[in-house]
Amino acid sequence: MANLSSLREAVRDLIHDGDTVALEGFTHLIPHAAGHEIIRQGRRDLTLVRMTPDLIYDQLIGMGCAAKLIFSWGGNPGVGSLHRFRDAVEQSWPHRLEIEEHSHAGMANAYVAGASNLPFALLRGYTGSDLPKVNPNIRFIECPFTGEKLAAIPSVRPDVTVIHAQKADRRGNVLLWGILGVQKEAVLAAKRSIVTVEEIVDDLEAPPNACVLPYWALSAVCPVPGGAYPSYAQGYSERDNRFYKAWDPIARSREDFRAWMQRHVLDTDDFAGFRRVLAESMKEAA
Amino acid sequence: MSSTETLDFTATEIMTVAASRLLKDGTVCFVGIGLPSTAANLARLTHAPEVVLIYESGPIGAKPTVLPLSIGDGDLALTADTVVGTPEIFRYWLQGGRIDVGFLGAAQVDRFANINTTIIGSYDAPKVRLPGAGGAPEIASQAKEVFIVLKQSPKAFVAKLPFVTSAGYLDGGDARARAGIPGAGPTAVITDLGILTPDPVTRELTLTGIHPGVTVEQVKAATGWDLKISPDLKTTEIPDAGTLAALRDLHARTAAAHGISQGQAGGGEG
């Protein structure tokens, strides 16, 4: 049964050093608050999984939390590069980062296979691409019925999946809507799961086909209003495009990055604290 | 590009308009973010109101009022006919064979329209780490045809790619079909200088269209291989005032809505 708890307790109890962790979100509903809490609690040697690693993965990688990244597109959406990710891959800073690289179709299918309790995903994919030459986890098998050659990649089975959603009821049933990405599959593929939500309500008022994750399939549900910031939660907040742009110069230099993380994340108690300090520093900058 | 500026449109504008014109009304188009999304939405707002835009984040039939800054902007979801999960997009709609045109950007292309968005240098010790594949490998192979839009320069148009992220015509000729790739492949590469299309036999990209005010020498100088020029080279029609106004209005609305101008670099999934 899902445990309504604080994010600090959920991260402390459910995410351990060395775990494989997927913080999923496809531009929308990215669990930034949970990422910050992982950084605050100093987790190490994580295998991070995500189709579209963006700013929060740049921060986790730059702060030395990750040993490996499994991904299919790593960038700052609409802006350009992830400088901490690039520094880790190009210069091994702060340490070497192992990468396992796929296409979106491969990753999406690997989550579906994980949620389906299958050992691998099967797809028409990667043909003619050099990705199979650099990723031994992309292989090809023959269809037993037609002989057709198909791509096979291992399922994604995270120890913990973390997502952000719009709301939960008091039992811990979670409702999310808008752009859903692979969040449902990522949660169902994982051994444990943490969902941060904008609010707790008496009644989800979910229509029958809505994307509801039942309380008994989740480990922890944590109210963190605005916990996707600078990403957004449809119906609650807008994406802060200016922050995505502002991140570029912060992340370019190792020193500026470290100082920013110290002030905004390590020296704050929680996400509300982060938002307060960020508001102050944005005002200073303006 | 001083010669084109005197015609009252920029090189980027004619590239966008030329790419937009290739999209026929009613086409089901899988859209990449950035230039492809701009061109596809311009088509929807001008000559192709029934074009169906599908974004990999899940929106099907998106009709955004402003250009999305990221592939998962809320406007895409709110204006779509339906929003499905990302696995469904790739499994049912793309792999299911329902996409007419895959509209992609690229960091680099080679003479057989293969695409690199992964690395510059060697994979194990890259000089530049690019964002990676995203949805492109399967879009490039499974859409019925593919349009690629990017600015032309010797760094972007290279004889040999350091990494093939997404297949064009591989080594040329019938290599793509022999590899068992279902879609026809890239049928047009639209740049700020002209339009390149594959030779029907060798599949080598050939300059078949040139934008007004651009010289063949300019295009050759911006290409990292000895570019073949079609004997039937056509000059791109100048954008009409209505289309240009629609494009500029779209950009102005987008800048106002996002509070910042469209990023030029990197595209924007995520």
What pLDDT shows up at residue B70? 83
For residue B261, what pLDDT is reported?
Answer: 52
Please tell me which residue, A192 or B73, carries the higher pLDDT value: A192
Q: How many CB pairs under 8 A join A and B?
A: 210
Contact criterion met (CB < 8 Å) for A105 and B95: yes
Active-site residue, B56 included: yes
Query: Which of the pair, B4 or B136, is modelled with greater confidence?
Result: B136
Of the residues B5, B13, B50, B56, only one is catalytic, namely: B56
- Arithmetic mean of pLDDT, B245-251: 96
Residue of B nearest to A55 (CA): B270
CB contact (8 A) between residue A180 and residue B123 = no
Using the Cα atoms of residue A194, residue A198, residue A199 and residue A205 in order, give the sign of their dihedral.
negative
Sort out which chain A residues have CB atoms less than 8 A from B83's CB and list them: 178-180
B180-201 average pLDDT score:
97
Q: What average pLDDT does the structure give for chain B?
A: 93
pLDDT of residue A250: 97
- Averaged pLDDT for residues B12-39: 97
pLDDT classification of B72: cutoffs 50, 70, 90:
confident
Closest chain B residue to A182, measured at CA: B86
Tell me which residue in A27, A103, A112 faces B133 most closely, judged by beta carbons: A103
Chain A residues with CB under 8 Å of B87 CB are: 108-109, 111-112, 182, 185
pTM for the complete prediction? 0.95
Best of A109, A116, A179, A240 to disrupt the B interface (most B CBs within 10 Å) is A179
For chain A, residues with pLDDT lower than 50 are none
Q: Which of A101, A103, A126, A236 to mutate to test the interface with B (most CBs of B within 10 A)?
A: A103
On the question of pLDDT at B85 being above 50, the answer is: yes
pLDDT exceeds 80 at position B39: yes
| Residue B118 pLDDT > 50 | yes
Q: Mind listing the pLDDT tens digit for each residue in B212-233?
A: 999 999 999 999 999 999 999 9
Instruction: Compare CB distances from A77 to B69, B91, B179 and report the shortest one's residue.
Output: B69
Q: According to the model, what pLDDT value does residue A2 have?
A: 59
Map out the domains of chain B with their CATH numbers. 2-258 (3.40.1080.10)
Chain B hits for A238, CB-CB cut-off 8 Å, are 74
At A8, give phi and psi (nearest 5°).
-60, -45
Question: What is residue A218's predicted lDDT score, i.e. its pLDDT?
Answer: 97
pLDDT score, position B219: 98
* pLDDT-derived band at B266, boundaries 50, 70, 90: very low
Q: Which residues pair with A199 in a beta bridge?
A: A167
ipTM of the predicted structure?
Answer: 0.96
* Domains, in order of start, for chain A: 3-101+157-285 (3.40.1080.10)
Question: B3 versus A171: which is more confidently predicted?
Answer: A171
Of B129, B179, B265, nearest to A128 by CB-CB distance is B179
Q: Is the pLDDT of residue B3 over 80?
A: no
